[in-house]
Copies of this chain bind each other. A is one copy, B any other.
Amino acid sequence: MDFTRNLYGTSLSLLTDLYQLTMAYGYWKSGRAEQQAVFHLYFRKNPFEGGYAVCAGLEYAVHFLRNLKFSDNDIEYLTSLRNAKGDELFDLDFIDYLRNLRFTCNVEAIPEGTVVFPNEPLIRVSGPLLQAQLIETPLLNFLNFQTLIATKAARITEAAQGDLVMEFGMRRAQGVDGSLSATRAAFIGGVKATSNVMAGELFDIPVKGTHAHSWIMAFANEEEAFEKYAEAFPHDSVFLVDTFDTLEGVKNAIKVARKMRESGSELFGIRLDSGDLAYLSIEARKLLDEAGFPKVNIVASNDLDENLIASLKQQGAKINSWGIGTQLVTAFDQPALGGVYKLGALQDEKGQWQYKLKLSEQLVKTSTPGVQQVRRFLDGHGKFVADMIYNEAENLPENLKIVHPLDITKQKPIAAGTPSEDLLQPIFKNGQLVYCLPALPEIQQRTQQQLQALDPSIRRFLNPHTYPVGLEATLHQLKTDLILKFRHLK
């Protein structure tokens, strides 16, 4: 389902920074609008001090690009803009150019749910300079946020060791879409259900939820509140037990669970939302087991993240279901991924690629030139062993070697015949969608398979091992030469 068309009643083509449009105008005016260009979208550092990221957001980008067309309203707004002198900011001929603009770029991308690493292009856009530049901001908006949240969800799911993890964060999310697309990305990362009903409808994600403290407060006492809830939901009740006193709440839940059993139904679970979750879950489990309710689930919520879950597991907490809110949907400890979008090459009049890079005093911020592809090498068991960023516009040498982007002394030869796959796949050809968008559960499954192919030392939270990602040696040389050339020109 094209949920962006469904969700947004308006054109999203103005969802960009003004400087994309002023540059577009400049390229159009200087006759360079149609010059062929290649841009790459990538990030420089794994989020959360982790060892990997999980790529997400491509489906939003696809819907955005399919519908890219300035509407009459968009055109009217752009025509209304004024420069510092009070004159039209843009020539009317340029406005006409935009009115007739249709997306004609090639787009390659790494499928959602793929494990990715710093410096790897997640999306490559090739086509007319004006168009390829224009879409920078929305692509970054979609990919940065959803990759961040999918990665957070993968970490949380790993900490939960197979327990059910649910996303409960709408109330603290950053706006409507900060909630909806976070839910989608969390599902990609491994979360199995959400409290977000609209995300449930839009993305076909299972929805979960029972009652709040206010439900308890609305009745004369806790026991009556539980009873009334069980009458409405005899098979799905999860009682929130901490409104007054948690363990007393568990006892009240047991009383009602007994009555439910007499009338032929079973209590599904209890939820702990405050206090010492390790102690309280262990005590609650004892009370439930002793009363003959060993199958009643214990759900925990309350500002949880992967580190707290891991700590609770270590303390032997008897929790088998986790509701994760703020920390997940805002990626609280690092609420932005610093993805960037950089020009890698421009075609000259003869159709030759001119390689481009952005210099920086820090090598880590200097971009990589070329028309980049990522090749992932695998061992005999399908485990990932190294990734190579290479220039598709040139022939590869016979003997492959990857070089660390920041440390030329770290080099890794790749044995001939090592199994491999290229990660960037065709999404648009000349503006036409050529990619079949996978269903969300398939993406979730892909994430799990990808994570399994990653050594546990790379998945761990504290000081993870660094997965080897290098530039193919001739690309590394090209980059070094270009940097030296620019420095020499100064």
Contact = CB atoms under 8 A, between A and B. Distances in A.
Contact of A218 (B14, B129, B175): B129
A145 B178 contact: yes
B176 A207 contact: no
Given A18-B207, A330-B335, A359-B243, A180 B174 contact: no
A83 B9 contact: no
Nearest to A129: B218
B141 A175 contact: yes
A338 interface: yes
B26 A346 contact: no
Contact of A18 (B133, B208, B360, B490): B208
Interface string A31-58: 0100101010000000000000000000
Contacts of A248: 490
A22 B209 CA distance: 7
Contacts of A243: 358-359
A357 interface: yes
A140 B171 contact: yes
A490 B228 contact: no
Interface stretch (A229-237, A443-451, A458-466, A471-479): A229-237
Contacts of A180: 175
A322 interface: no
A359 B171 CA distance: 21
B335 A174 contact: yes
B358 A268 contact: no
Contacts of A231: 26, 29-30
Given A14-B198, A218-B346, A231-B29, A144 B129 contact: no
A65 interface: no
Interface stretch (A73-81, A287-295, A392-400, A410-418): A73-81
Given A137-B170, A145-B173, A181-B175, A213 B358 contact: yes
A181 B180 CA distance: 14
Given A7-B9, A172-B140, A268 B84 contact: yes
A10 B7 contact: yes
A262 interface: no
A378 interface: no
Number of copies: 2
B168 A17 contact: yes
A212 interface: yes
B210 A19 contact: yes
A32 B218 contact: yes
A81 B207 contact: yes
Contacts of A129: 218
B172 A182 contact: no
Contacts of A8: 7-9, 176
Scoring A170, A218, A365, A486 by chain B CB atoms within 10 A of each residue's CB, the highest score goes to A218
Nearest to A346: B218
Nearest to A144: B172
A285 interface: no
Contact of A217 (B7, B179, B343): B343
Contacts of A144: 171-172
B235 A85 contact: yes
B137 A218 contact: no
A89 interface: yes
B201 A73 contact: yes
A456 interface: no
A106 interface: no
A133 B331 CA distance: 27
Interface in A193-215: 195-198, 200-201, 207-215
A232 B30 contact: yes
A211 B274 CA distance: 50
A141 B346 contact: no
A46 to B, nearest CB: 16
Given A7-B9, A12-B176, 6 more contacts: A74-B201, A85-B235, A89-B233, A89-B236, A173-B178, A243-B358
7 contacts: A7-B9, A22-B232, A77-B200, A84-B268, A133-B212, A141-B176, A173-B178
